[in-house]
Chain A
Amino acid sequence: MCSYVVEKTALTGSAKAAGTWSPINTAVVSVDHPFHAPVEHALIVDFTNAGRPVSERVALELSVASARELIACMQTALDAFGEGG
């Protein structure tokens, strides 16, 4: 289905696409039909910089299973790092 599941979060960081680094300040996260990934539904993340064209976003489409594994991997890495940063 077209789920319309969309979440947004502000963040601080940078992302690289087409060989160029850019600041990003927003992530739009959805679980819906992807554009390119060969799965029925994907975790879709658009990293954007408010005020910049949507075509400059850095986009990810991950299978739902891959997304869960990535989240766990990221959490493990952050836990290993500990507090601060």
Chain B
Amino acid sequence: MYQGLLAETVTVVGHNDDEIGAYLARPLGPGPFPGVLVIHHAPGWDTATKEIARRFAYEGYIAICPNLYHRFGPDLSTDDAAAAARAGGWVTTEQFLADAAGALRHVRGLPVSNGKVGAIGYCSGGRQSFLAACELPVDAAIDCYGAFVVNGSPPEMPLRMEPVIDRAPKISCPILGLFGVEDTRPSPDEVAQIDAELTRLGKEHEFHSFQNAGHGFFAVDRTMYRVEAAVEGWRLILDFYGRHLA
């Protein structure tokens, strides 16, 4: 069977009608293909996250990963953009949601789209994927170890990260949560609280917590990588999207 994919940077219209960069990877061929919004982690629009987008394309999805740090400098290196984000207060929830909405529109506007788009995010992107499930028209959402969903940031932190669990009544799609039992943010107790709240609200969801894994177990370029959790995690992701985005 022939396999091929196209990966390139594109422009999407985001918050304030700003044009921002996005990495788009999709299978070659006429489709129709489902889409995935890939939300990068706090270290930025980096090589490993773009590799995740290409993996989704390999698996038959149109993956789009907007550069949430575009406004700090579209041509900055990944580490410089992350430094600018640290110094500049990261990005607001409002800006993220509008940028993500622009990426969703871009995918759905492609002739090869089947109209369905899921969201997935890692680390800070996990919380943002949860936000997308609450606020945006996504068809399935995956939260990979997102912190500050049920508890906000500690009061001693200068940057306040608000919890987002209060938005859960607005969730309009199934949720998959993937966590490590050794993580501290989110801790197993926090994961249990999110799970319980989604159950209480009658929101379709499935949570998996992996032994011998902490935060960031999908990160192939970091010491947190855990092969068993990552391999099983990818299987669960593809099964979940296969059921909800086909």
Contacts and interface: CB of A to CB of B under 8 A. Distances in A.
Given A4-B157, A33-B42, A38-B223, A28 B87 contact: yes
Nearest to B41: A2
B160 to A, nearest CB: 9
Nearest to B77: A55
A30 B158 CA distance: 11
A28 B86 contact: yes
Interface string B10-25: 0000000000000000
B86 A1 contact: no
B87 A46 contact: yes
A33 B86 contact: no
Given A33-B42, A33-B222, A54-B80, A3 B86 contact: no
A46 B76 contact: no
Contacts of B77: 55
B197 interface: no
A57 B223 CA distance: 26
13 contacts: A1-B147, A1-B185, A3-B185, A4-B153, A5-B157, A6-B159, A32-B42, A40-B215, A53-B73, A54-B76, A55-B76, A55-B77, A57-B83
4 interchain residue pairs of minimum CB distance: A1-B185, A2-B42, A35-B79, A2-B124
